[in-house]
């Protein structure tokens, strides 16, 4: 395997997929993206915290401005106990020397900004193409789709998310995502609140964790984390609202008003994370993003890590004609970092929903822990991570 493959088949057009397409084009490839759903797939009520390290990687690809314009800066977080005591105020990530801070952005708008750049570069996205299988041939890798079609390319990039089919094909014994026993329910409301735009207010309530931030346009973006034994709780929106009402009842803060002011813009997601995935690549196929290291959303890093992966993978392929060598360099550059973030995020998630004793300790100890967090540069490794495109991989 030494001739540089020209075509890159990218499976999945979520976040890592389109970024990989943009980066691989820059590295000299001809990418084509295959997405299972069609454009009608909506992300109503769903939004993300995109951290400075993810935006920094997008800047290298020239997409950061479009993404930043579609979101709003959220550089601060204020933590509250369910009884209304302020536990502390900390930065949401770190501000980079050029002023870049974490932003909050609707998932649909992030997808659109990335897709617009993919279209501008003339990269093809084929929708309604659900990948089912792949096979190595002498001249490349063959991908098969559910509709019976097939396509051959030089390399195949699995950016197909937490339930990745590509991961399963690369290693049938690969671990499955583990359900964290928490659901995330989020939405966007319109109401007037006294808080200033751009700060997350996070309440560690008695039965649920609730957070909100106000956009400069006056929309209130909110999410709640609740405990749930099953990841398949399909309740109608009204039923979710009623259930959240019960769980948030009695906690201080505007959660119930926000809930009442929310229309149908509610999204419910089970939260997973992935144990270590041993096989990141095999032959001409490689994984990125949630497909290899889904992290629970507590650290607000999943999207940023997928973006970083895409950039490093493209750099590695740019700098050698040997695919095996390029994939090995990519894994070598990324594995320790992404696994550290997964562990970090998992720890934060564990503090969100606690029993009465755990709550008492948490509310007592958190102010000191937050002071420590706010004072040091302890999170520079996370938020100031910079990938130098010009430097050899
Ligand atoms: C509730 C919740 C809140 C979150 N909040 C944040 C946050 O605040 N900040 C943050 O950084 N991250 C957050 N995340 C994590 C973030 O969404 C993911 O880490 C990120 O989307 C990963 O990008 P990806 O491209 O790897 O996968 P995805 O974005 O999941 O994209 C995968 C794509 O592949 C497609 N696909 C799947 N199977 C196939 C197939 N067989 N064939 C073809 N296409 C396929 C899917 O339709 C999808 O479009 C959150 C996640 C959840 C669940």
Q: Name the residue of 149, 268, 303 to mutate for ligand 1: max ligand atoms within 8 A of Cβ.
A: 303
Q: By alpha-carbon position, which residue is closest to atom 15 of ligand 1?
A: 302
Instruction: Assess contact for 304 and 50: CB atoms under 8 A.
Output: yes
Per the DSSP assignment, residues forming a β-bridge with 143 are 134, 151
Closest CA to 362 of 182, 180, 205, 183: 205
Rounded CA separation 375/306 (Å): 29
- CATH number, domain 7-177+274-383: 3.50.50.60
Burial class (CB in 10 A: 0-12, 13-18, 19+), 70: middle
Q: By alpha-carbon position, which residue is closest to atom 52 of ligand 1?
A: 297
Residue whose token pair is 């401005």: 65
Indicate yes or no: pTM above 0.85. yes
One pLDDT digit (tens) per residue for the chain, 393 residues:
444 558 999 999 999 999 999 999 999 999 999 999 987 666 777 999 999 999 999 999 999 999 999 999 999 999 999 999 999 999 999 899 999 999 999 999 999 999 999 999 999 999 999 999 999 987 899 999 999 999 999 999 999 999 999 999 999 999 999 888 889 999 999 999 999 999 999 999 999 999 999 999 999 999 999 998 877 766 777 788 899 999 999 999 999 999 999 988 788 889 888 879 999 999 999 999 999 998 888 889 999 999 999 999 999 999 999 999 999 999 999 999 999 998 888 877 665 556 665 665 566 666 666 666 655 467 889 999 999 999 998
Instruction: Tell me, using a 6 A CB cutoff, whether residue 130 lines ligand 1.
Output: yes
How remote is the CA of residue 282 from the centroid of ligand 1, in Å? 22
Instruction: Tell me, using a 6 A CB cutoff, whether residue 35 lines ligand 1.
Output: yes
Phi-psi region of 137 (alpha: psi -120 to 50; beta: other; left: phi over 0): beta
Rounded CA separation 141/134 (Å): 7
How many angstroms separate the first and last alpha carbons of the chain? 19
């Amino acid at each position: 395997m030494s001739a540089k493959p020209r075509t890159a088949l990218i499976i999945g057009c979520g976040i890592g997929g389109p970024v990989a397409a943009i980066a691989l084009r820059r590295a000299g490839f001809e990418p084509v993206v295959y997405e299972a759903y069609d454009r009608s797939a909506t992300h109503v009520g769903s939004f993300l915290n995109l951290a400075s390290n993810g935006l920094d990687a997008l800047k290298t690809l020239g997409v950061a401005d479009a993404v930043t314009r579609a979101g709003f800066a959220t550089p601060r977080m204020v933590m509250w106990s369910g009884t209304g005591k302020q536990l502390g105020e900390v930065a949401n990530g770190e501000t980079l020397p050029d002023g870049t801070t974490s932003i909050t952005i609707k998932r649909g708008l992030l997808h659109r900004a990335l897709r617009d750049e993919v279209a501008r570069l003339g990269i093809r996205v084929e929708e309604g193409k659900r990948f089912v299988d792949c096979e190595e041939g002498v001249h490349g890798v063959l991908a098969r789709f559910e509709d019976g079609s097939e396509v051959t390319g030089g390399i195949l990039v699995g950016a197909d998310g937490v339930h990745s089919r590509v991961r399963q094909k690369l290693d049938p014994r690969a671990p499955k995502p583990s359900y964290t026993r928490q659901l995330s329910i989020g939405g966007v409301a319109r109401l007037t609140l006294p808080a200033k735009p751009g700060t997350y207010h996070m309440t560690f309530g008695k039965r649920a964790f609730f957070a909100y931030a106000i956009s400069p346009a006056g929309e209130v973006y909110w999410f709640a984390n609740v405990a749930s034994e099953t990841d398949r709780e399909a309740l109608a929106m009204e039923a979710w609202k009623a259930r959240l009402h019960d769980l948030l009842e009695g906690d201080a803060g505007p959660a119930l008003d926000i809930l009442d002011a929310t229309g149908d813009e509610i999204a419910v997601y089970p939260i997973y994370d992935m144990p270590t995935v041993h096989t990141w690549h095999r032959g001409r196929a490689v994984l990125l993003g949630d497909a290899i290291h889904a992290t629970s959303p507590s650290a607000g890093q999943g999207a940023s890590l997928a973006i970083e992966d895409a950039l490093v993978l493209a750099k590695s392929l740019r700098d050698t004609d040997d695919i095996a060598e390029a994939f090995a360099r990519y894994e070598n550059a990324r594995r320790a970092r992404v696994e550290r973030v997964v562990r970090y995020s998992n720890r934060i998630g564990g503090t969100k929903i606690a029993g009465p004793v755990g709550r008492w300790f948490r509310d007592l100890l958190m102010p000191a822990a937050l002071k420590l967090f706010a004072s040091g540069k302890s999170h520079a490794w996370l938020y100031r991570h910079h990938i130098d495109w010009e430097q050899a991989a």
